[in-house]
Structure 1
Amino acid sequence: MLEEEYDRDRRRLPRHLRRRPEPERPFSFDIRPVAERDIPDIREIYNYYVTNSVVTFDEKKWSIAQWREKLAYLRKLDLPFLVAESPTGQVLGYALVQPMSAKSAYRFSVENSIYLGQAATGKGLGKALLVALIEACEQKGIRQMVAVISDKGAEGSVALHEKLGFVEVGRMGRVGFKFGRWLGTIYLQKELKPVKKKGIFAR
C-alpha cells in the first residue's frame, strides 16, 4: 500500500480505531570516563570527521591501535577522557584533553577535543560534554584550557566554547591544507578554577 493510501484510509477510520504514531524517545545519555571497550566507537566517530570534514586536520584514518596508545598515554598523565553513552550502550560522543606541549612548564595547560556521532549533533550533547570536561580538569588542578578550532566548518564549536567562557586569543591563517583548500585555526582559551592540588599537576 502506498503511503498516501494508508494515510487516506487511516483518516476514514473512527478516531478510537486509528493507530497512534509511537512517541519519539527522548534523547538521553550518561557521561562517564572512557573504557577500553569504547575505542571502536570512538574510532568510528573520529574517522568520520577525518574523511568528511575540515574540523580536524588529520587526513588519514586512525586505527584501533593508535587509539589504544593514546588512551594509555592520557591515563599515564591522569588526564580526563570522557564519553557520552546512550541507554543502549552506544557511544554518542567523546571529550578529552591532552598536553598543550611536551615542555614541562606547560603542565598546567591542556588542549581539548570534542567529537559527536552524527546522530547526536544538535541536541545539547556537545555542551554537556564540554561542561563535564571542564569540571574534570578543575578536579585535576589544571589551570588553562585551550581549544584549537578550524576557521572553516566549525562555527558551532566556536560558538559553544564562547558560551562557556572561552575567549578568542589568536588566529593563524593558511596553516593547513586539506581537500584542496587552505585552512586556518582559531585559538580560544579559558582560565579554570582548580579545586585539587595533588597528582601530576601539583606544584
Structure 2
Amino acid sequence: MIREATATDLPAITALYGREVLTGTATFELEPPSLAEMTARFEAVRSKGLPWLAAEVDGRFAGYAYASPFRPRPAYRYGVEGSIYVEEAARGRGVGRALLTGLIERARALGLRHVIGAISDSATSEASIALHERLGFRRVGAYVQVGWKFDRWLDVHLMQLDLAPEGSPPTGPGLNLGGGLA
C-alpha cells in the first residue's frame, strides 16, 4: 500500500535512511541525520506541495519516497528529483516500483514537466536503473567518480522522465522555489 507519509512515519524513515547512510551508497551523506533533521526535511518538501510517500507491506513500514525541487533557480520550477528508499526485507517485492509510480502520478497531477533520478554507484544500482527504465526514464548522463564513500569513488547516473514530451508550454506556475530547500 502506498500512501502519503505522516509525521508518525518519521522515526521509521529516519531509521531506514540512517542505515543507508551507514551501509549503502544511495546517499552520499556520511553521518545519519537526526529525527529532528529528517522532520525538517519532511516539512520542507511538504511546504512546497510536493509528495512524500510511505509504503506498507502487510501493515508494516516498507519504504518511502519523496520529490524535491530539481534545482533552486526559477527556470527549473517544473522539475523534481525523486528519491526512493526501500527496507531491505521489502526489496524485490514491487515496493520501489509502487513508490516511483506514485511519485510520477503526483508530479504529473501537479503539472510538472520532468522527474529526475540521480542513481549512485553503478556497481550496486542495476536494479534501480532498470526500474527507472521500465517506467519510461531515459539515461541522460553520468557524473563519474564524483563521490568518495567507503574508500572508493562512486558515480551518479542521471535519468530523466519527460512528462510532456511534445514540448508544449507549461500549464501552471510550477513550484514555488522560495526558501526551504536549496
Secondary structure class of the residue paired with 1:176: strand
Partner of 2:33: 62
2:137 is the counterpart of 1:166: yes
**TM-score, normalised to structure 2's length?**
0.88
Q: Residues 37-96 of structure 1, C-alpha deviation per residue, up to 9 Å, x if partnerless?
A: 0000011111111111112111110111111101111111101111112343x3211111
User: Which ranges of structure 1 fall in alignment gaps of 5 or more residues?
Assistant: 1-29
Larger gyration radius, structure 1 or structure 2? 1
Residues in 1 aligned to 2:15 and 2:123: alpha-carbon distance in whole angstroms: 22
Secondary structure class of the residue paired with 1:84: strand
Query: Aligned-pair distance for 1:124?
Result: 1.0
CA contact (8 A) 1:80 1:97 kept: yes
Residues in 2 aligned to 1:54 and 1:75: alpha-carbon distance in whole angstroms: 25
CA contact (8 A) 1:51 1:59 kept: yes
Residues in 1 aligned to 2:47 and 2:95: alpha-carbon distance in whole angstroms: 27
CA contact (8 A) 1:78 1:200 kept: no
Q: Identify which of 70, 74, 89 aligns with 2:45.
A: 74
CA contact (8 A) 1:82 1:94 kept: yes
Moved over 4 A (4+): 196-200
Residues in 2 aligned to 1:62 and 1:115: alpha-carbon distance in whole angstroms: 15
Counterpart residue identity of residue 67, structure 1: M
Highest RCO, 1 vs 2 (Cα 8 Å, sep ≥ 6): 2
Secondary structure class of the residue paired with 1:44: helix
Q: Identify which of 78, 84, 87 aligns with 1:108.
A: 78
The change in CA–CA distance for 1:185 and 1:36 in structure 2 (over 3 A counts) is: same
Partner of 2:57: 86
Secondary structure class of the residue paired with 2:98: helix
CA contact (8 A) 2:57 2:90 kept: no
Give 1:1-203 correspondences, 5 Å limit. Answer: 30-88=1-59, 90-150=60-120, 151-193=122-164, 197-198=171-172, 201=175
Q: How many residues align?
A: 171
Secondary structure class of the residue paired with 2:26: coil
Query: Aligned-pair distance for 1:172?
Result: 1.3
Q: Aligned residues: percent identity? A: 38
CA root-mean-square deviation: 1.8
